[in-house]
Structure 1
């Protein structure tokens, strides 16, 4: 993987994190630009990791658990970094997001309520053998939505720092 791919990933994630925190949105135009840059630099080999990741993560969007922009962003991370490193970055970001989410729910005093909501969601889903959205912005508290891209950026920075330290740089 080239240093350009890593640099592009850092810039892409930084911009996405900014807009996600500031405007609660990862803009498609931003993602389209980075996809075009990736195809231009890496060629056609850029597309398969992106397409596979989009297909796998799409179910989380259908369930209302992850926004479409976040899924496209993670797919671009996989395309730029490859499956192994992309998975490490995404998994680290998700872990940081989960820890923060638990902290936020605990300090808000609603952790138990949300855990019961999730339990009831799972019971309803398996009992009725139907898939419904987990989070519905129209009926759930809008403050519960978490911008994911800053955590993916954090996962990237931790991964990059670890890579540099393990190389002895």
Structure 2
């Protein structure tokens, strides 16, 4: 898992994308490993680990609030660890993302602007029933975008700390 998350983080930092070659390779590794170790139940666990993050996060992708690579990374994590672990890691990642976003807002001193932007975005969506992308991930200079791979890395670390402490 450390190899997957570190490689995804490096890819996201360097290329602003998490490569399909990486995520799909780990999905296959997760499927094969769980099938070999646990049989059909392991395969089902891996398949659910791939499907659940995709299904839960697709709306955030459609709104351009989360990149496709981030969702595929969660699915790769789910393929290896199963959907329950993926759900915990997703929860921890979004909490870490909130902390990171708060730090960015404090550093940039643009909290009012960010709240105004999200309010106007949501108002526009509800009044027009027209979903537009929230942000442009290609805008590398945007102060509204941060690499979710940082938060996902934090989520994985928190999950494994809990496992090592016997809390999971």
Give the TM-score band, short-chain normalised: 0.7 to 0.9
Unaligned runs of 5+ in 2: 36-42
Alpha-carbon deviation of 1:104?
A: 0.7
1:59 is aligned to 2:59: yes
Inter-partner Cα distance in structure 1 for 2:133 and 2:119: 14
Cα separation, partners in 2 of 1:81 and 1:24, compared to 1, 3 Å: same
Aligned-partner Cα distance in 2 for 1:56–1:86: 11
Q: Is the 8 A contact 1:89 1:155 kept in 2?
A: yes
The RMSD of aligned alpha carbons is: 2.0
Higher relative contact order (CA 8 A, sep 6+): 1
CA distance in 2, matches of 1:63, 1:139: 16
Superposed counterparts of 1:84-163, under 5 Å: 84-137=84-137, 142-163=142-163
Separation of aligned partners in 1, 2:20 and 2:135: 22
Asked if 1 retains the 8 angstrom alpha-carbon contact of 2:47 and 2:79, the reply is yes
Distance in structure 2 (CA, Å) of the matches to 1:145 and 1:32: 25
Q: Which consecutive aligned stretches of 4+ in structure 1 deviate over 3 angstroms post-superposition?
A: 137-141
Please state if 1:36 is matched with 2:28.
yes
Give distance in 2, aligned partners of 1:162 and 1:139: 36
Structure 1 residues 137 and 17, CA gap change in structure 2 (3 angstroms):
closer
Aligned to 2:3: 11
- Give the total of aligned pairs: 159
* 8 Å CA contact retained: 1:24, 1:147: yes
8 Å contact from structure 1 (residues 121, 134) kept in 2: yes
CA–CA distance in structure 2, aligned partners of residues 137 and 52 of structure 1 = 24
Q: Which runs of 5+ in 1 are unaligned?
A: 1-8
Query: Residue 144 of structure 1: SS of its match in structure 2?
Result: coil
> CA 1:92/1:138 → structure 2, altered by over 3 Å: closer, same or farther?
closer
